[in-house]
Structure formats: structure tokens, C-alpha cells
Amino acid sequence: MLELHDITAGYDSRTPVVRNVTLTVAPGEAVGLLGPSGCGKSTLARVTALLHRPDSGTLLLDGEPVRRWRHRAPRAHRTVLGVVFQQPRLAADPRLRLTDLIAEPLRATGRRDEIPHSVGELAAAVGLTPDLLDRRPHEVSDGQLQRACLARALVLRPRWLICDEMTAMLDASTTAALVAAVENYRAASGAGLLAVGHDQLLLDRWCDRTLHWDDLAVGAKTKPDQPTR
């Protein structure tokens, strides 16, 4: 199970953007988390992805409580999570060729020998052709770069996937292709998914169940048309 219990998080402890959120994802389950932009759902995704330490609450990964976040998070925790963000340009090192981008987690975990096989297999799974693998981020489109970022997220065969607005910038066909690649991976691996987004049609079609942010975040006021201060 992926379990979030009573999580409160933010950037200023006086005004947390996530308040007392509890949710669980079962193995193999796809859970959508729907909310307007700026509501704090991306912060919750970052907490779940071990990238942002919550102010309070518990995150359990397969029953084990997470105690450290960011670069101090233990490798055993980091490697069971795959993460894809909204903006591939911000998530990809511009100097790396796509093939190295996808292989990055394998290198970082000392599994270089798996690179040729895994990268080839994943490139095909996300629909990247060999000529694209040799290019750097500025030589490909957003959609192509996001395909590479998804391949990178899958390369360690994570048990849990977190997709934070993965397709918000993409056209309908690329969206359908990326979602299909996630679902093929999940069907083969049994991985669970937390898909965070603002498009209800998409989340309803994609996920087993969709949670609404306002129902989760008890007491948190999130009105998209209010200024954020």
C-alpha cells in the first residue's frame, strides 16, 4: 500500500497548502487526484515522491514509514517510486541525450549492465524511435521529451507511479499515448498509480477512482480565483 495519513505540508508552516490529507493507493490501483491549479495537490505529489518533507503526518510505503525526504531519502524508498512531472523541460538535464536521460536512474544505482536492454525496451514502450534517443532535449518536442521522462520514471520498474499533471501541456494524441504506456506498464508490473491532475474527464477515464481535492483537504480553502497570497 501507499498510504498518506494526516499529511500537512507547505512552504511556510503558518500557511500550509496541504492540510490533514489522508489517502491510500492499493497495489495495482489507479487513483486520480483532481484539483484546481495552485490548490496544493502538486505539493502533496512531491511529498509522496519523497521530494518535499511534510510538516506533519505519515507516509507509509508498503507498510514502512518514511522518515527522510529528498537527497536523504534511503535508496530503497526512492527506487520503488517513479515520478513524472508536468514540465519535462524543467525535469530533464538539458545536456543529456534522451538515451542517457532514460538511463540516469540505472547509472545512479550502479545497474549499468541493464542499460542497453532496458533503454531499448522502454523507448519502444513509450513510442520513441532510435533517432530521437540520440538527441538532446532542445532538439525534441515537449511531447517527445515527456515520453523520455516517462521512460526514465519506469526504468527501475517502480511499484508506485506518481504522475503530476503529466499530460497538461500535451495534445490529445500524445496524452492518450502516454497514458496507454503507463497502463501497459501497470498491467505488466502490477504497479499502483497516483495521477494528479485538473482534468476530470481524463482522470475519470484513466483511473479506478478519482478523489476531489476539496473533499480531502479538510479545512483548506482553495478557491482558484482568489489571489494566492
Residues at the contact surface with another protein, assessed by CB under 8 A? 36-38, 86, 127, 129, 141-144, 165, 168-177, 179-180, 198-202, 204-206, 224-229
At closest approach, how far in Å is the CB of 55 from another protein?
Answer: 23
At closest approach, how far in Å is the CB of 77 from another protein?
Answer: 30
CA distances from 36 to 12, 187, 222 (A): 20, 29, 8
Nearer to another protein among residue 76 and residue 201 (C-beta): 201
At closest approach, how far in Å is the CB of 103 from another protein?
Answer: 21
Cβ atoms of 228 and 197 within 8 Å: the answer is no
Nearer to another protein among residue 173 and residue 219 (C-beta): 173
Cβ atoms of 70 and 47 within 8 Å: the answer is no
Helices marked H in 73-141: 75-78, 88-91, 98-108, 115-125, 130-133
Alpha carbon of residue 105 to chain centroid: 15
At closest approach, how far in Å is the CB of 229 from another protein?
Answer: 5
Nearer to another protein among residue 110 and residue 228 (C-beta): 228
Give the CB-side neighbour count of residue 143, counting CA atoms within 13 A. Answer: 12
Q: How many residues does the chain have?
A: 229
Nearer to another protein among residue 90 and residue 172 (C-beta): 172
At closest approach, how far in Å is the CB of 98 from another protein?
Answer: 13
Nearer to another protein among residue 48 and residue 174 (C-beta): 174
Q: Which amino acid is at 59?
A: L
